A and B are shown apart, each in its own frame.
Chain A
Amino acid sequence: MTVTHETIGKGEVLLAVDQVSLSFGGIKAITDVSFDIRKGEIRAIIGPNGAGKTSMLNVINGFYHPQQGKITFKGQTRSKMRPSVAASQGIARTFQNVALFKGMSTLDNIMSGRTLKMNSHFFWQCFRHGPAMAEEIRHREFVEDIIDFLEIQAIRKVPVGKLPYGLQKRVELGRALAMEPDLLLLDEPMAGMNLEEKEDMSRFIIDVNTQYGTTIALIEHDMGVVMDLSDRVVVLEYGRKLADGTPDEVKADQNVIDAYLGVAH
């Protein structure tokens, strides 16, 4: 029986990271880290700078291939995969430095997230009117729901290069959502935002989780956001796992307190 997203019940393990180690030449970015992400939860990955958080996401995504360890996603275990395969399996993500397509408008960027779902043949694309157009419109309707949800109607046609940073991050979220992912990886979605923007983004993240049922893994530095949003937290430091549990458990963990206060250990 093939394991699909639907066969995994809410609360069961969707993604498991098993003893993953990653190094670049002599630098060990991740050493023997294991944790899991349950379906329907919001999992935070936190830790000081250089702890290996983004590298961890990149490994899950398929950008980096770990030297050791395995990833199990939706019941399938593998040690390396290509990003496009990860995409087709239902993993989407946003980036620390916004990775939007700067030459295109907001609408086009989000529409590009629908690429995997669009497959009208090249032949019809040459004529546009006809099956290709019908498909465009169908997906446009879906994308408009996302635009509505993220409240970015006003900047639909604006080239994203011209948008302020906070809005760019929102568009990036929209593009990831357009992929209808089972697992959404967010890399510092609130970086560089003021309080109001952070509240907006938090609201979106919670809504994505409750409305669409998307499992979310996010890297974040703002402790308040992490404690409020997440169901469980994993703490990394210098590439190793320091703690793993609910926000309250992690907050009370002495190792974590030492790490953040800089106590040598």
Chain B
Amino acid sequence: MPISAWHIEGMVMDILFKVLIDPFLQMGAMPDLFVQTIWDGFVTGVLYALIALGFVLIFKASGVFNFAQGIMVVFAALTLVGLYEMGLPAPLAVLVTLGVMFVLAVAIERVVLRPLVNQPDIILFMATFGITYFLIGLGELIFGGNPKQMITDQLYLPRGAIEVKMLGGFVQFQKIDIAAAVIAVVMIVALAVFFQKTRIGRALRAVADSHKAALSVGISLNQIWVIVWFTAGIVALVTGIMWGARSDVSFGLQVIALKALPVLILGGFTSVPGAIVGGLIIGIGEKLGEFYWGPLVGGGIESWLAYCIALGFLLFRPQGLFGDKIIERI
């Protein structure tokens, strides 16, 4: 059958309609579904932001890109659940887990960071790869590879949902999601204050700028690093609890942590507010993309959409939305 010019024009118009117009029509036709999708994206975004926050903390304070943040989240969550299953009451389990994260922070500082003090960044980055694999193996060995249930009730986290009648339909807000958003905001504000107003926060920023200079003014690098990694550990635990409460606790989470990278690209590697904004953009963008454009190509685009969004940003602003402009001097 010969393909005429009309035919081709028809196909093109059809594609343009499906991609550029129809999704928005769908959004308008069922606004409650639209709001639901945005809320879901918002919640995912908050959780991405929490993971990204861990990265930002360590990078901001020590210049190390801690690839192991994802596995730290999983490890913290696994430890908490594991301890509870061994019989510890929930509040004690939380404390012991914090203790474990502290020990982990000290161990990492002593075994990995101290010997690599003045090596180029890429070496430190690769070292965190090593930590990741080590913790994956260790976690699987101690806790087994099966997914686990987060102890939401025991931690006094809310269950159930609130249904709000709006825009011609219903929008569901899971209480745990609201709790997650609130907790995230509280943590972020606390961290921002910590960095800006306290003496230790200042020292952290000094170390991020230059190890040698910080040493020369008497800042103890070792102490700072332990504090930073421990703080990141706390963030990891909170993140792990929140993530685990929504789905379950498994090693698949580690790969989801890779999603934090596009968040960091958007928000910059050193900006706490940037992590939030970046997280929200990626979370909402992903959900909207998957729900309204995904069906056009067979679905599943959530796996790569975030990276492409980040890539697009990088081409126009190589330093991200909030990052510092890179000036090369020769």
Chains A and B touch each other in the complex, with CB atoms below 8 Å apart: yes
Q: Which residue of B lies closest to A96 (CB)?
A: B330
Which A residues are CB-close (under 8 A) to B330? Answer: 58, 63, 95, 97, 99
What is the interface residue range for chain B against chain A?
A: under 10
Nearest CB on B from A64, distance (A): 10
Q: Dominant SS at the A interface?
A: loop
Which B residues are CB-close (under 8 A) to A58? Answer: 330
Q: Which residues does A use to contact B, with CB under 8 Å?
A: 58, 63, 95, 97, 99
Q: Which residues does B use to contact A, with CB under 8 Å?
A: 330
Q: Which residue of A lies closest to B327 (CB)?
A: A24
Cα distance A95–B328 in the bound complex, in angstroms:
14
Cα distance A196–B330 in the bound complex, in angstroms:
27
Nearest CB on A from B123, distance (A): 14
Cα distance A97–B330 in the bound complex, in angstroms:
7
Q: How many A-B residue pairs have CB under 8 A?
A: 5
Cα distance A155–B330 in the bound complex, in angstroms:
26
5 example contacts (A-B, Cβ-Cβ < 8 A) are as follows: A58-B330, A63-B330, A95-B330, A97-B330, A99-B330
Which B residues are CB-close (under 8 A) to A95? Answer: 330
Cα distance A201–B330 in the bound complex, in angstroms:
22
Cα distance A145–B199 in the bound complex, in angstroms:
61
Nearest CB on A from B324, distance (A): 14
Which B residues are CB-close (under 8 A) to A99? Answer: 330
Q: Which residue of B lies closest to A54 (CB)?
A: B330
Q: Which residue of B lies closest to A64 (CB)?
A: B330
Nearest CB on A from B327, distance (A): 8
Nearest CB on B from A131, distance (A): 36
Nearest CB on A from B294, distance (A): 41
Cα distance A97–B329 in the bound complex, in angstroms:
10
Q: Which residue of B lies closest to A57 (CB)?
A: B330
Top 5 closest A-B pairs, CB basis? A95-B330, A99-B330, A63-B330, A58-B330, A97-B330
Cα distance A95–B330 in the bound complex, in angstroms:
8
Nearest CB on A from B197, distance (A): 29
Nearest CB on A from B122, distance (A): 13
Nearest CB on B from A248, distance (A): 33
Cα distance A58–B327 in the bound complex, in angstroms:
15
Nearest CB on B from A30, distance (A): 16
Q: Which residue of B lies closest to A187 (CB)?
A: B330
Nearest CB on B from A83, distance (A): 10
Nearest CB on A from B329, distance (A): 9
Q: Which residue of B lies closest to A24 (CB)?
A: B327
Which B residues are CB-close (under 8 A) to A63? Answer: 330
Which B residues are CB-close (under 8 A) to A97? Answer: 330
Nearest CB on B from A102, distance (A): 11
Cα distance A129–B34 in the bound complex, in angstroms:
65
Cα distance A153–B7 in the bound complex, in angstroms:
72
Cα distance A50–B330 in the bound complex, in angstroms:
14
Cα distance A27–B330 in the bound complex, in angstroms:
17
Nearest CB on B from A234, distance (A): 22
Cα distance A84–B330 in the bound complex, in angstroms:
16
Q: Which residue of B lies closest to A99 (CB)?
A: B330
Cα distance A179–B309 in the bound complex, in angstroms:
42
Q: Which residue of A lies closest to B328 (CB)?
A: A63
Cα distance A58–B330 in the bound complex, in angstroms:
9
Cα distance A97–B328 in the bound complex, in angstroms:
13
Nearest CB on B from A35, distance (A): 22
Nearest CB on A from B330, distance (A): 6
Nearest CB on B from A210, distance (A): 30
Nearest CB on B from A193, distance (A): 20
Nearest CB on A from B78, distance (A): 42
Cα distance A63–B330 in the bound complex, in angstroms:
9
Nearest CB on A from B3, distance (A): 39
Nearest CB on B from A126, distance (A): 29
Nearest CB on B from A219, distance (A): 14
Nearest CB on B from A57, distance (A): 10
Cα distance A172–B187 in the bound complex, in angstroms:
52
Nearest CB on B from A26, distance (A): 14
